[in-house]
Amino acid sequence: MHADADAQALHLLQTVFGYPEFRGQQAQIVGHLARGGDALVLMPTGGGKSLCYQIPSLVRDGVGVVISPLIALMQDQVDALAEVGVRAAFLNSTQSFDEAMRIERQVRRGELDLVYVAPERLMTSRCLDLLESARIALFAIDEAHCVSQWGHDFRPEYIKLSILHERFPNVPRIALTATADAQTRAEIVQRLQLEEALQFVSSFDRPNIRYQIVEKANARQQLLDFINGEHAGDAGIVYCLSRKKVEEVADFLNSHGIAALPYHAGIDNVSRAANQARFLREDGIVMVATIAFGMGIDKPDVRFVAHLDLPKSMEGYYQETGRAGRDGLPADAWMAYGLQDVVQQRRMIDESEANDAYKRIQSQKLDAMLGLCETLHCRRVRLLDYFGQASGPCGNCDICSSPPVSFDGTVPMQKLLSTIYRVEQRFGAMHVLDVLRGVESDKVKQWGHDRLSVFGIGADRADQEWRAILRQAIALGLVTVDHEAYSALKLTEDARPVLRGEKTIQLRQYEKPARQKRKTAASKHVELGLTGEEQAIFEKLRWWRMEAARRHNVPAYVIFHDATLREIAKAKPHSLEDMRAISGVGEKKLETYGDEIVALIVSD
């Protein structure tokens, strides 16, 4: 049975999905689930999580039930499966009663391989009765971190999913997520009753993503320079904290010739769904969004994710940046970050109505995020270390490629801390820095702070340099921002040994933000490993794919991923047999598109 299940799984991978072999832990997970075992799977975005439940659903008798919170994406997931010849459907609130009845009949009759269900729908007695009347191959709980009340995507209905174990004790379950630290993993196990499940934790590393964090000067202009310089014509996502900022940034990009769409919870459902559909189905669209956008986004060719505001946590940052480069090709995670981001995030935590335990955890998560921004060492090492994975310098982040200059910052730090102390820890950043730099503002004079011994002791450095030092002071835990006292800067206990000269401090040397150099089209395709001739074929294939997607009314990536088109451009197949050897080309796609592609290559 074991060998048969493994052989059958590999055969399905090759003939249905068109991949020559499983990656990483996929084969172990698929085999374990196909044989009836439970599993908790942590795999980075783009690591191939969906195959871990799709193939066992095909190997086992019955229908695989996938619980997903992402109603907007179910149609695309079902379309993608239909393209490879898998019988799939979904049940959610977007359907008419007649449509839902038809799919329910298919489930009862065993006419489907997979059915996608929203958690709210699953918990209804009607849906549970339907499942009890059918033969179930397995339950797949996608985005399983939603069960965590400490997490960044908590969904209360996920907690109720323990009912699956209680009502269907003999049906295997697989819980999947891309982001979960040890605490969240423990919570998933406990809440979903997966104590007996095998845990498969893949590497969190996404080596194709380049991490870059820049000093925020004029953030919108910096973003525009970054897109024009590195990613002209590419699909990307830009994250902002507020709805207002989303609208403003989208308008700004459009006014500078970049096709950008806004996405946030304040936009009506029809417009929001239309914008998401355009982003998924067209090439080269930039989506400007709040974090309401993105969980489970399957678009493989997002070439960059940019943040114009500091994310709340490393989990959020990792998940959001993980939407770039899911096809394994080079991609960028870019962020513009400044002192105001730190102040704003602290304020949001302090002013939230959550209990003290929750606020404490959110503060710890923010501290880790600040540590990533202010680190003097490889960003990837810092990021992976947060998730408990040891690694060495990556060579593919801004710090590795252009190491910052560090210096003994003990004296300037003492000047900053002394100034905060002398103004009695009652004033915000702007006022403290004015006193430090000797700026005779009305407020400084009004409070008599121009007569303090610290007035002007930092006149040798510019305002931006002091802002960078203050950010590092907060990241090092020497200074906090008290929002109950009008964002006043306060010293922590850790500041004492620094002030007394008992502890030295290493700081990052401030560097003025540089203009982004524009990358040429030629350098982009060389980076992707294509010759000039192959690049021309690749572009021709992308145009063909866009027309094919329009005819079939599916997103372009559902036809073929960019990575597959790139392989076709390199292989230049002259027959269907040549096509069969290319990764990502299964039997159904070969039958549907093979002749068209061969004709396109031969005519070239």
| 412 and 396 fall within a common domain | no
Are 209 and 231 within 8 A, CB to CB?
Answer: no
Distance CA 526, CA 505 (A): 43
Contact by Cβ (8 Å): 84, 245: no
Number of domains composing the chain: 4
Q: Is 269 inside any structural domain? A: yes
Range with the largest mean pLDDT of 34-48, 180-194, 488-502: 488-502
Whether 513 maps to a domain, the answer reads no
Least confident range of 41-45, 335-339, 536-540:
41-45
Last-in-domain residue among 201, 217, 240 = 201
pLDDT surpasses 80 at 143: yes
Q: Which helix (H) or strand (E) holds 542?
A: helix 532-552
Kindly state whether residues 301 and 421 are assigned to the same domain. Answer: no
Say how far apart CA 229 and CA 181 lie, in whole Å: 35
176 in Cβ contact with 140 (< 8 Å) = yes
Residues 366, 346 share a domain: yes
Does residue 130 fall inside a structural domain?
yes
Residue in the block written with tokens 């800067």: 489
Average pLDDT estimate for 168-186: 88
Whether 516 is covered by a domain: the verdict is no
Q: Is residue 515 part of a domain?
A: no
Over 439-466, what HEC string results?
CCCHHHHHCCHHHCCCCCCCCCCCHHHH
* Residues 273 and 411 placed together within one structural domain of the fold: no
Model confidence band, residue 356 (pLDDT cutoffs 50, 70, 90) = confident
Report how far residue 410's alpha carbon sits from residue 29's, in angstroms, rounded to the nearest whole number.
52
DSSP helix/strand/coil, 352 = coil
Average pLDDT of the chain is: 90
Q: Which of 201, 235, 253 is the last residue of a domain?
A: 201
- The distance from CA 238 to its chain's CA centroid, rounded to whole angstroms, is 11
Say if residue 426 is in the same domain as residue 397: no
Mean pLDDT value across residues 579-604 = 92
Does residue 2 surpass a pLDDT of 60? no
Q: CA distances (Å), 228 to each of 173, 210, 326, 522, 591, in order?
A: 45, 17, 22, 15, 39
Instruction: Mark whether 213 and 356 lie in a shared domain.
Output: yes
Residue 514 lies in a domain: no
Q: In 3D, which of 26, 240, 461, 601 has the Cα closest to residue 470? A: 461
Mention every residue, 6+ apart, whose C-beta is less than 8 A from residue 62. 110, 134, 135, 136, 137
Q: Which helix (H) or strand (E) holds 114?
A: strand 114-117
* Residue 440 CA from chain centroid, whole number: 45
> Rounded to whole angstroms, how far apart are CA atoms 82 and 88?
7
Lowest mean pLDDT among 36-50, 152-166, 237-251, 560-574: 152-166
CATH code for the domain in which residue 163 is found: 3.40.50.300
Helix ranges (H only) for 377-520 are 379-386, 398-401, 410-422, 429-437, 442-446, 463-475, 495-499
* SS3 at position 312: coil
Q: What is the CATH number of the domain that holds 428?
A: 1.10.10.10
Predicted pLDDT at 469 = 94
Report pLDDT digits (tens) over 39-50.
Answer: 999 988 777 889
Please tell me the predicted confidence (pLDDT) of residue 517: 61
Whether the predicted pLDDT of 527 surpasses 70: no
Report the share of the chain in percent with pLDDT over 70. Answer: 95
- Kindly state whether residues 390 and 414 are assigned to the same domain: no
Grade residue 3 by pLDDT with cuts at 50, 70 and 90.
Answer: low
Dmax (CA) for the chain in angstroms is: 86
Whether residue 523 is predicted with pLDDT greater than 60 in this model: the reply is: no
Q: Which of 359, 333, 361, 334 is nearest to 347 (CA)?
A: 359
Query: Which contacts qualify for 560-566: CB closer than 8 Å, 24 or more apart?
Result: 560/584, 560/585, 560/589, 560/593, 561/300, 561/301, 561/327, 562/300, 562/301, 562/327, 562/329, 563/300, 563/327, 563/328, 563/329, 564/18, 565/538, 565/541, 566/329, 566/528, 566/529, 566/530, 566/534, 566/538
User: With 90 as the cut, is the pLDDT of residue 137 above it?
Assistant: yes
Where does the pLDDT of residue 150 fall: very low under 50, low under 70, confident under 90, or very high at 90 and above?
low
The mean pLDDT of 298-304, rounded to a whole number, is 89
For 451-491, the pLDDT digits (tens) are 999 999 999 999 989 999 999 999 888 998 887 767 889 99
Per-residue model confidence (pLDDT) at position 67: 95
pLDDT value at residue 526: 54
Last residue within a domain, chosen from 401, 427, 446: 401
Question: At 1, is the pLDDT very low, low, confident or very high (cuts 50, 70, 90)?
Answer: very low
Same-domain check for residues 489 and 531: no
Q: What phi and psi, each to the nearest 5 degrees, are found at residue 78? A: -70, -40
pLDDT band with cut points at 50, 70 and 90 for residue 515: low
**pLDDT mean over 542-571:** 90
Same domain, 437 and 528: no
Q: Are residues 347 and 479 in the same domain?
A: no
Q: Would you say residue 340 has pLDDT above 70?
A: yes
Cα separation, 199 vs 177, whole angstroms: 12
Whether residues 81 and 150 share a domain: the answer is yes
Write the single-letter amino acid at 45.
Answer: T
Q: Is residue 574 part of a domain?
A: yes
> Which of 139-148, 255-264, 484-493 tops mean pLDDT?
255-264
Per the structure, the complete domain to which residue 15 belongs is given by 2-201
Rounded to whole angstroms, how far apart are CA atoms 260 and 110? 43
CATH code of the domain in which 568 resides: 1.10.150.80
Alpha helices (H) along 67-210: 71-83, 97-109, 119-122, 125-132, 156-159, 163-167, 182-191
**397 and 414 co-located in one domain:** no
Contacts of 592 (CB under 8 A, 6+ apart): 83
57-101: pLDDT as tens digits = 999 999 999 998 877 778 888 999 999 999 999 998 888 999 999
- Within a domain: 218: yes
Give residue 66's pLDDT. 97
pLDDT reported for residue 315: 86
* Continuous H helices in 282-409: 314-321, 339-351, 356-374, 379-386, 398-401
Residue 261 predicted with pLDDT over 90: yes
